[in-house]
Amino acid sequence: MDLNPPIKLSVINTYINATLIGDPNYELKGLNEIHMVRNGDLTFVDHPKYYDKALRSLASVILIDREVEPPQGKHLLISKDPFSEYNILTKQFRPFNKSSQPLSLSAEIGKDTIIQPGCFIGSNVVIGERCIIHSNVSIYDHCIIGNDCVIHANTVIGSDAFYFKKDASGYIKMHSCGRVIIHDRVEIGASCSIDKGVSGDTVIGEGTKLDNQVHIGHDTVVGRNCLFAAQVGVAGVTTIEDDVILWGRLA
């Protein structure tokens, strides 16, 4: 998730009150999980198995649950509970906002696009030109749909990632703050679900076609001109290259 404009670490730390090791004036550009992280981002780590991966990643700021020597050029935020602190940050900078109407005033709808009755189009959604969005489709906040796309009835674009951490009290949900990006000439069948990225983007490539009842998990990237038959399920954080055909479940 991008922070626009960038935010100083000293300001970031006012929300979580961690121990800062580094430059308080460093300007953070984004928040991302370890598998999606970019230079200028903050990521979190709370398990020894992933300490080295996080510290060696592109992340410029690491929210971590132990004090270690920071790699050159990196900044640390030391916290007892990085998972919960990361949730605090994502909720701060991309909170859930209640909608007051089916079609948000902040949504951008392209020329000659048809929105059928019963649809929900969330805040800051962008839909391109000459699309058909059939009845009862829900497109959650911040999702982007290209030109010449068709989305059939009862499909959900941008539902939350299925991401939970178990503790003594049960399961703690990771707040999803990513997006779904659907490129041009994609057709999505009825009753499909495409989860948003946890912090990054779930992407459907140009020209890809999904049959009915297909599920695409969070942070998955599907290439161009793919063909997925009914009841295909793709796990989160999966990369599928161009021109792939997947046959679904057969009775």
- How do the pLDDT tens digits run along the chain, 251 residues long? 999 999 999 999 999 989 999 999 999 999 999 888 999 999 999 999 999 999 999 999 999 999 998 899 999 999 999 999 999 999 999 999 999 999 999 999 999 999 999 999 999 999 999 999 999 999 999 999 999 999 999 999 999 999 999 988 999 999 999 999 999 999 999 999 999 999 999 999 999 999 999 999 999 999 999 999 999 999 999 999 999 999 987 54
- The domains of the chain are located at 2-93, 108-246
Count other Cβ atoms within 10 Å, centred on residue 159: 16
Residue 164: the pLDDT is 95
Residue 2: the pLDDT is 94
Residue 250: the pLDDT is 56
CB 68 within 8 A of CB 50: no
- Same topology, domains 2-93 and 108-246? Answer is no
| DSSP code for 106 | T
Are β-strands 132-133 and 150-151 bridged in parallel, bridged antiparallel, or unpaired? Answer: parallel
What is the CATH number assigned to the segment(s) 108-246? 2.160.10.10
Residue 17: the pLDDT is 86
Residue 21 gets the label, from left (phi > 0), alpha (psi -120 to 50) or beta, of: beta
Q: What is the pTM of this model?
A: 0.93
- Single out the residue of 44, 34, 33 nearest to residue 76, CA to CA: 44
Distance CA 20, CA 62 (A): 10
Distance CA 37, CA 42 (A): 8
Tokens of 123: 């805040």
Where in the sequence numbering do the catalytic residues fall? 218
Residue 150: the pLDDT is 98
Distance CA 44, CA 55 (A): 10
Distance CA 36, CA 6 (A): 18
Are β-strands 27-31 and 2-8 bridged in parallel, bridged antiparallel, or unpaired? Answer: antiparallel
- Single out the residue of 154, 135, 158, 136 nearest to residue 145, CA to CA: 158
| DSSP code for 236 | S
Q: What CATH class has 2-93?
A: alpha beta
